[in-house]
Amino acid sequence: MAIYQETQLQDISRKFQIYGQILHAETCKIGHINETYSATYSQGGTKVRYIHQKLNTGVFKDPLAVMNNVMRVTTHVRQKLEARGATDVTRRALILVPTRAGHSHYQHEAGEIWRTFVFLEGTRSYESVQSPEQAYQAGRAFGDFQNLLADLPADSLTETIPNFHNTRQRFAAFQQAVAADRLDRAAQARAEIDQALAWEGLAGVVLDEMAAGRIPTRITHNDTKFNNVMLDAATGEAMCVVDLDTVMPGSALYDFGDMIRTTTSPTLEDEPDLSKVEMRMPMFEQLARGYLSAAGEFLTPAERAHLAFSGKLITFELGLRFLTDYLCGDTYFRIHRPGHNLDRVRTQFKLVQSIEQQEAAMQRFTDSL
């Protein structure tokens, strides 16, 4: 990490209710959106770590609403775990460290918004699933997260990115980007554009079920990537889900769909070798078992009936979002090389095809549970 950032982090760290001295800090994760650092402090004669994170205010236009949601959700989860008599609660629920002025975040010069969490010692995340057991753990963790939030009134949270998983709107934005083609990139993405147009029919399926009242709106995580699950480094048990910025009203299927997208293929989401991208049944089976072990009680028949489909939908949706961003000049998702978003599109669309080929078997499996 650059010295500048370390100095800046030292400055930022002093704004929070941390009573130690910062020893060193390092980049923990640079996601597509936020920047995350872990910092080690000497505090009361022992070493403790905290997470400092800079919120992307280009994406999260109302950061105060995001922080209110995060506070509401972390407090609720902690209280519910305590009421259950759970052990190790501070590793099972994220804890936001307030600023010395008592706020949930610190607003740095130039409008940067920083927040701090207690570091979850002895846990780790993975970029891709290593075993069916990990897929089970991911399913259970997000299912339990939805379960813990089931009694939080939906209107207590702000929809911080409106229509985040509105696939019809995502499709319309894609069509507009193709029509405008401001950067003359459509020619390079012709095959992907044609493929996306052919899949238009997928966009309305869950929305129509929701409009008909068969699929309810719930409080959901909305970014259930596998690397947002913190697993106990020793036992492999899922301890906590992180990245709560998009927790808001949504459909349970959006969460389950993104779990299929990120736990069933052995590859990363920008894998250039498409022959490696594949939906693997053993992973899907354990994922579905894990999810239903925690969410099985509250899902409606229509939700259950669309579990297999949801993976195709969300993988398609993310492919559309990457494609739209590629056509619009890579302004939303952080890229690390030219054409990166187009590579991501190809990986997503290959996975959609793989799901499509196995959808009947996936459906039979979830019907049998």
Could you list the residues that contact Mg ion (CB under 5 A)? 223, 243
Q: Identify whether the C-beta of residue 206 lies closer than 8 Å to the C-beta of residue 168.
A: no
Residue 91: CB minimum distance to ligand GN1, A:
21
Q: Which is nearer to ligand GN1, 18 or 247 (CB)?
A: 247
Q: Does 33 bind ligand GN1 (CB under 6 A)?
A: yes
| CB closer to Mg ion, 228 vs 286 | 228
What distances in angstroms separate CA 235 from CA 45, 86, 186, one per listed residue? 29, 17, 48
How far apart are CB 128 and ligand GN1 at their closest, in Å? 12
Residue 289-318 contact track with ligand GN1, rule CB under 6 A, x = bound: -----------------------------x
Q: Which stretch binds ligand GN1 (CB under 6 A): 27-35, 89-97, 148-156, 186-194?
A: 27-35
- Cβ of residue 285: shortest distance to Mg ion, in angstroms? 26
201-214 as b/e: b if 16+ CB within 10 A? ebbebbbebbeeee
Instruction: State the binding string over 2-21 for ligand GN1 (x if CB under 6 A, else -).
Output: --------------------
By beta-carbon proximity to ligand GN1, the closer residue of 89 and 161 is 161
Q: How far is the CB of 347 from Mg ion (least distance, A)?
A: 18
Considering the complex, state which of residue 190 and residue 336 has its C-beta at the smaller distance from ligand GN1: 336
> Counting contacts by CB under 6 A, is residue 31 touching ligand GN1?
yes
Cα separation, 154 vs 156, whole angstroms: 5
230 binds, among Mg ion, ligand GN1, none (CB under 5 to 8 A by kind): none
* Residue 59 contact partner, candidates ligand GN1, Mg ion, none, CB within 5 to 8 A by sort of partner: ligand GN1
SS (H, E, C) the chain: CCHHHHHHHHHHHCCECCCCEEEEEEEEEECCCCEEEEEEEEECCEEEEEEEEEECCCCCCCHHHHHHHHHHHHHHHHHHHHHHCCCCHHHHCCCEECECCCCCCEECHHHCEEEEEECCCCEECCCCCCCHHHHHHHHHHHHHHHHHCCCCCHHHCCCCCCCCCCHHHHHHHHHHHHHHCCCCCHHHHHHHHHHHHHCHHHCCHHHHHHHCCCCCCEEECCCCCHHHEEEECCCCCEEEECCCCCCEEECHHHHHHHHHHHHCCCCCCCCCCHHHCCCCHHHHHHHHHHHHHHHCCCCCHHHHHCHHHHHHHHHHHHHHHHHHHHHHCCCCCCCCCCCHHHHHHHHHHHHHHHHHHHHHHHHHHHHHC
| Closer residue to ligand GN1 in complex, CB, 226/309 | 226
Beta carbon of residue 59, minimum distance to ligand GN1 (angstroms, whole number): 5
Look-up: residue for tokens 């579905």? 288
> Residue 64 touches which of ligand GN1, Mg ion, none (CB < 5 to 8 A by kind)?
none
Q: CB of residue 358 vs Mg ion: minimum separation in angstroms?
A: 27
Residues of span 229-248 touching ligand GN1 by CB under 6 A: 243, 246
Using rule CB under 6 A, residue 59 touches ligand GN1:
yes
- The residue (of 243 and 330) whose beta carbon lies closer to Mg ion is 243
Q: CB of residue 58 vs Mg ion: minimum separation in angstroms? A: 14
Between 59 and 89, whose beta carbon lies closer to ligand GN1?
59
Give 352's strand partners: none
By residue count, the chain amounts to 369
Residue 358, contacted partner among ligand GN1, Mg ion, none, CB below 5-8 A by kind: none
32 binds, among ligand GN1, Mg ion, none (CB under 5 to 8 A by kind): ligand GN1
Nearer to ligand GN1, 18 or 240 (CB): 240
Give me the least distance between CB of 251 and ligand GN1, in Å please.
Answer: 14
Do residues 224 and 262 touch, judged by C-beta distance below 8 A?
yes
Residues at the interface with ligand GN1 (CB under 6 A): 31-33, 59, 223, 225, 243, 246, 269, 318
